[in-house]
A = this chain, B = another copy of it.
Amino acid sequence: MVPHSTPIPDHESTRPSAPPDHRNPLPPPSTMRPPRGNALIGQSGGPTAVINQSLVGLVEECLASEEIQNVYGALNGIEGIMDERLVNLGLEEPRVLQRVAETPCAALGSVRHKPTLEDCERLLEVMKAHDVRYFFYIGGNDSAETAHLLNQVAVDSGYDLRLFHVPKTIDNDLRETDHCPGYGSAAKFVAQAVAGDNEDNRSLGGVKIDVIMGRNAGWLTAAAALARCGEGEGPHLIYLPEVDFEWDAFLGDVSDVMERHGRCVIAASEGIHDPDGELISRPAEIDAFGNAQLSGSGSLGDILRERVKAGLGNGTRVRADTFGYLQRSFFGCVSEQDATEARAVGHAAVRTAVCGERPHGSAIIERCDEDGSYRPAYGCVDLELVARHTKDLPTEFLDGTHDVSEAFLAYVRPLVGPLPAAGRLARYPVPRRL
């Protein structure tokens, strides 16, 4: 690569020498020499606190690679590619990249668009015009699906494009990877928010309901359990989409907790649904991938609050908050481990791509616990294993109908790192005199 400060002329496009052969796709990856050419990076889907760490990790490793001449960024993901809105990330100063890495949300702009076959052909056309031989797409399962579709079109057209999905999602619901970059920081936000809410509820009593993101799976809501700082402390009840939500059982649970502790903190996933699969919330919109838009609305919190208030029927103070987009974008609540891993997964994806081991894939994080201490490792799996589908909490991470297990806490703790600890007065009683 050329030095940072020198403007880089675009590399001349080199067309593949043979015409595409649809019935004769590329040879097996292990035998393929990695091509020389340019790299392109895009960001997609809902942002996270550390998605820019992965972006900068990719840029750093591309700059260090001999196979990669220029490293480009697509503004607003595949939409920017189709519009040919590309920027030269190799010209950015390292100190700018470092500050960008520490800034939440997608520095290149994001997109929620499911490409058609024509879109994929246009994407390839632009990539060919810019001699893009390496495409890295940072996103969730929908973005992996986009990458998978585009990869099929590239393979069919015979264009040697190395295409890698780099995981990110606060939902932590991608398959194959142990966990997703972005989850640790969002889980930390949720833990600190619920911990503060437990203090608030101790102060003023009553029932407090916190609605937490996670349309399909309860990973983020489950992290609320990290806030629990002792016996009888909140969150007292945790409701996840993995367990059918039943009103009678719920209202009974709340009454029980009120009787035992005189107060109640509830963490509820926005995706909770009744035994027929009907959402308890009222989705406002459906996106291009068919996902119900549940965030950005306080409706579930208000529904739960009204029912609890009516159910208890004794004038108990009941409040609900919907944590909303703060969970993914709050500026200043990052898990150090998450930030480190998000950067490292970017580095690893480029190394996998340029070593020629495989022509496409989805980067993953594996857990290599040694002597009981957490250690991540980085790998890669086939795109189709990650595309579209999501991963629920396994049964061993659940505890009954409204809590998570110790096994889940052991899983999540190293991803979030240290949390602030509440101080408690001993409260030495003063003897009564009246």
CB pair B202 A105 closer than 8 Å: yes
The answer, yes or no, to whether A216 is at the interface (CB within 8 Å) is no
Of the listed stretches A290-298, A362-370, A373-381, chain B binds A290-298
Please measure, in the bound complex, the distance between the C-alpha atom of A297 and the C-alpha atom of B299, giving whole angstroms.
9
A49 to chain B, nearest CB (A): 8
List A312-353 residues whose CB lies under 8 Å from chain B: 318-326, 328-333
Is A280 close to B, CB under 8 A?
A: no
Set of chain B residues within 8 Å of A205, measured between Cβ atoms: 109
Q: A331 touches which one: B106, B196, B305, B319 (CB < 8 A)? A: B196
Which of A92-100, A147-155, A390-398 has 4 or more CB atoms under 8 Å from chain B?
A: A92-100
Judging by beta carbons under 8 Å apart, are B297 and A305 in contact? yes
Minimal beta-carbon separation of A365 from chain B (angstroms)? 23
Given contacts A326-B193, A331-B192, whether A431 and B10 have CB atoms under 8 Å apart is yes
Our pick among B89, B96, B106, B333 for the contact of A203 (Cβ within 8 Å) is B106
Tell me whether A434 is interfacial, beta carbon within 8 Å.
yes
User: Contact: B298 with A203, CB < 8 Å?
Assistant: no
Q: List 12 A-B contacts (CB under 8 A).
A: A52-B423, A73-B425, A84-B432, A86-B429, A88-B428, A102-B423, A104-B199, A106-B203, A196-B329, A284-B305, A298-B299, A321-B326
A329 touches B199 (CB 8 A): yes
Q: A322 is contacted by which of B93, B96, B321 (Cβ under 8 Å)?
A: B321
- CB contact under 8 A between A332 and B331, given known A75-B427, A204-B47: no
Contact B331 A92 (CB under 8 A): no
Give the shortest distance, in Å, between A100 (CB) and chain B (any CB).
4
Q: Of B10, B298, B325, which contacts A430 at CB under 8 A? A: B10
**Cβ–Cβ contact B326 & A323, under 8 A:** yes
- Indicate whether A204 sits within 8 Å of B75 (C-beta atoms), given known contacts A89-B425, A193-B326, A425-B87: no
Closest CB of chain B to A430's CB: distance in Å? 4
CB distance from A12 to the nearest CB of B (A): 10
Q: Which residues of B contact A98 (CB under 8 A)?
A: 423
Instruction: Decide if A103 is an interface residue (CB 8 Å cutoff).
Output: yes
Check B423–A107 contact: CB distance below 8 A: yes
Beta-carbon contact of A298 and B298 below 8 Å: yes
Distance in angstroms from A92 CB to nearest chain B CB is 6
Q: Is B298 within 8 A of A297, CB to CB? A: yes
Q: Which 9 A-B pairs have the closest CB atoms?
A: A298-B298, A99-B423, A296-B319, A105-B199, A321-B324, A196-B329, A100-B423, A196-B331, A86-B430
Q: A125 to B197, alpha carbons, bound, how many Å? A: 34
Report the minimum CB–CB distance from A152 to chain B (whole Å). Answer: 22
- CA distance in complex: A42, B182 (Å): 41
Q: How far is the CA of A420 from the CA of B204 in the complex (A)?
A: 32
Bound complex: CA A88 to CA B302 (Å): 40
Docked-complex contact B329 and A108, CB < 8 angstroms: no
The reply to whether the CB of A23 lies closer than 8 angstroms to some CB of chain B is no
**Least distance between A310 CB and chain B CB atoms (Å):** 13
Pick from B72, B112, B192: contact of A204, CB under 8 Å? B112
Given the known inter-chain contacts A47-B203, A332-B192, please indicate yes or no for A129 contacting B434, CB distance below 8 A.
yes
Decide yes or no whether A286 CB sits under 8 A from chain B: no
Counting chain B CB atoms within 10 Å of each CB, the highest count among A103, A109, A202 belongs to A103
